[in-house]
Amino acid sequence: MIRLQGVTKLYRSQAHPAVDDVSLDIEKGEFVFLVGSSGSGKSTLLRLMLKEERPTRGNIFVAGKDLNRLPSWKVPALRRTIGTVFQDFRLLPNKTVEQNIAFALEVIGRPRSEVATEVPRVIELVGLAGKEKRYPDELAGGEQQRVAVARAFVNRPALLLADEPTGNLDPTTSVGIMKLLDRINRTGTTVVMATHDANIVDQMRKRVVQLDHGQLVRDQARGVYGYLS
Amino acid sequence: MRLGFIAEEVAVGFRRNLTMTVAVIVTIAASLSLFGAGLLVRAQVSTMKDYWYDKVEVSIYLCSDTSDTPSCSGGAVTPAQRTQISDDLKAMSPLVQQVFYESQKQAYQRFIKQFKNSAIVQNVSPDALPESFRVKLSNPEKYDVIASAFTGRAGVEQVQDQRRLLDKFFKLLNGLQTIALAIAVAMLLVTVLLVVNTMRVAAHSRRREIGIMRLVGASNWYVRLPFVAEAAISAAIGAGIATGVLAALKHFGVDKRLAPEYQFTSFIGWDAVWSIVPLVFLVGVGISVLAAAATLRRHLRV
């Protein structure tokens, strides 16, 4: 699903690379935690996979496409195969729950009939049935993040990238979001989640990739957040 | 492509950005009106040229009792001089195509007819107007031949090329046209800047939506089309207003004011107005859309 070969990202204003010679393979259907302290390069890695950034060196393959060779007019097609969730939800405040989710389908030109069937289905999936007409500011943080997950997943992407999705949520609510991501993963969707929430990583027992100052320092199947002592 | 969805986005954009949109419409209407007016003046000049160049002639004014040029020192033209001039003109065929003789009385009648609405008629008596030969040339450019043959000759007061008089008038009209077009170009430049700024504000006010559209993989045109459509619609409304202004100019200005007063010449018809309208729309919408697309290219990069 994702292959990184010697990927380095050097920002112009910084002396040290944000991502330093990282090689990584993620198979289809995997659930991968990307851990590391703030500024370790987790977010940059996700942005590279979305082609929001170009690597300074190295190759990135996502869903069989070589991102270095992907012309810019094909970037939208790439992003349609990737769902994205952020710490700050990024919902549109002037649209209701169902309008926020429908927006993701409408702007890629999906027919009205598909929007009408897919949106209720995904609202059901994320457990927000009955709250379709609410506006984001009428929802709790965990519910807002469920809307964001629904929006990312409504197009049934093969890959879901989540950048600290529980960063703004309390532990109980976070567990709910993790259960949701796990359920999505079980449908066959590859999930890559950047986090520094140790509890969650320890509970889930999934593959853990750790970054430190941009370098890959650990890649462990069924890992925990810190080293096992 | 979901046209209904894009139409909704355009409607939202209009409401959100109403003051700027109104400003764009007014500027476009004003600049396109000037642009169209410039083109109408040009059409008028060409209509008048067609009309007049066909009719213009060289006038050889003969001396009367009141003439004071040196060639008229011998007083009014004598019948012998008049016959001689007439014969000489006829001898200059084929350059001289036709020669008419106009007596003082005929000149007076023509004058009265031409200025029948003017008070000047009361102050002019038949003997104040000179008798003349009106000469039609096969090639109007060869005016100099006639001028050098007859200027300063006894009994001839003045040789006048009507084309020169007209050319002065046409130059004035051309000057007006140039001024109108220059202002139109400046206004269109202002329009471009205004559209660029409006698009920047619009893109900024919808940055959340744009961010999400990019993230979920909306194609470039899906992101830009609502903005470009907004610019195109504003421009079309402006062009529509400009068309109204031009039609009013033709109806109230030309048909109701100028045409009844200056019956001796012809004026542009409605066909001239209608042939300019598509150009006005094309220029207005084209400039607005290009400015919008160029701005969005810079601000909405994937």
* Average pLDDT value for residue range B3-11: 79
- Taking an 8 Å cut-off on Cβ atoms, the answer to whether B223 and A92 are in contact is no
**Nearest neighbour of A90 by CB, restricted to B1, B211, B223:** B211
Q: Which residue does chain B place closest to A47, by CA atoms?
A: B215
Q: Is the pLDDT of residue A125 over 90?
A: yes
In one letter, which amino acid is A75? V
Give me the pLDDT at residue B1, please.
56
CB pairs under 8 A between A and B: 62
Query: What does the pLDDT look like over B249-264, one tens digit per residue?
Result: 989 988 888 888 777 6
Q: How far is A136 from chain B (nearest CA, A)?
A: 14
Question: What does pTM read for this prediction?
Answer: 0.72
Residue ranges of alpha helices (H) inside chain A are 42-49, 75-80, 97-106, 112-125, 141-153, 171-186, 198-204
Which residues of B, range 189-208, sit inside 8 Å of A by Cβ?
208
Give me the pLDDT at residue A82, please.
95
Of A49-58, B220-229, B231-240, B287-296, the poorest mean pLDDT is in B220-229
Give me the pLDDT at residue A195, please.
92
Query: What does the pLDDT look like over B235-252, one tens digit per residue?
Result: 999 999 999 999 999 899
B209 interface with A at CB cutoff 8 Å: yes
Query: What does the pLDDT look like over A136-194, one tens digit per residue?
Result: 999 999 999 999 999 999 999 999 999 999 998 999 999 999 999 999 999 999 999 99
* Average pLDDT value for residue range A199-207: 90
Give me the pLDDT at residue A99, please.
94
Name the average pLDDT for chain B: 83
* Average pLDDT value for residue range A63-81: 92
Q: Is the pLDDT of residue B267 over 50?
A: yes
Q: How far is B193 from chain A (nearest CA, A)?
A: 28
Q: Which of B237, B258, B239, B257 is nearest to B184 (CA)?
A: B239
B220 interface with A at CB cutoff 8 Å: yes
- Taking an 8 Å cut-off on Cβ atoms, the answer to whether B222 and A84 are in contact is no
Q: Which of A194, A168, A195, A188 is nearest to A88 (CA)?
A: A168
- Reply yes or no: is the peptide bond before residue A17 cis, omega within 30 of 0: no
* Average pLDDT value for residue range A57-69: 93
Please list, in sequence order, all residues whose beta carbon lies within 8 angstroms of the beta carbon of residue A19, skipping any fewer than 6 positions away: A7, A8, A9, A41, A44, A45, A48, A55, A211, A214
A229 interface with B at CB cutoff 8 Å: no
Distances (CA, A) of B199 to B6, B20, B28, B205, B224: 16, 9, 15, 10, 10
- Taking an 8 Å cut-off on Cβ atoms, the answer to whether A109 and B212 are in contact is no
Pairing of strands A65-66, A57-62: antiparallel
- Taking an 8 Å cut-off on Cβ atoms, the answer to whether B222 and A77 are in contact is no
Give me the pLDDT at residue A229, please.
38
Domain-by-domain residue ranges, chain B?
Answer: 2-52+167-300, 55-162
- Taking an 8 Å cut-off on Cβ atoms, the answer to whether B2 and A111 are in contact is yes
Distances (CA, A) of B52 to B7, B265, B266: 53, 8, 9
Give me the pLDDT at residue B150, please.
83
* Average pLDDT value for residue range A65-91: 93
Task: Compute φ and ψ for A154, nearest 5 degrees.
Answer: -60, -30
User: Whole-angstrom Cα distance, residue A40 to residue A214?
Assistant: 5
Query: What does the pLDDT look like over B120-165, one tens digit per residue?
Result: 777 777 777 888 888 888 877 777 888 888 888 878 888 888 777 7
B3 interface with A at CB cutoff 8 Å: no
Q: Burial code of A91-101, b = ≥16 C-beta within 10 A, e = fewer?
A: bbeebbbbbbb
User: Whole-angstrom Cα distance, residue B62 to residue B57?
Assistant: 16
Fold of B55-162: Alpha-Beta Plaits (3.30.70)
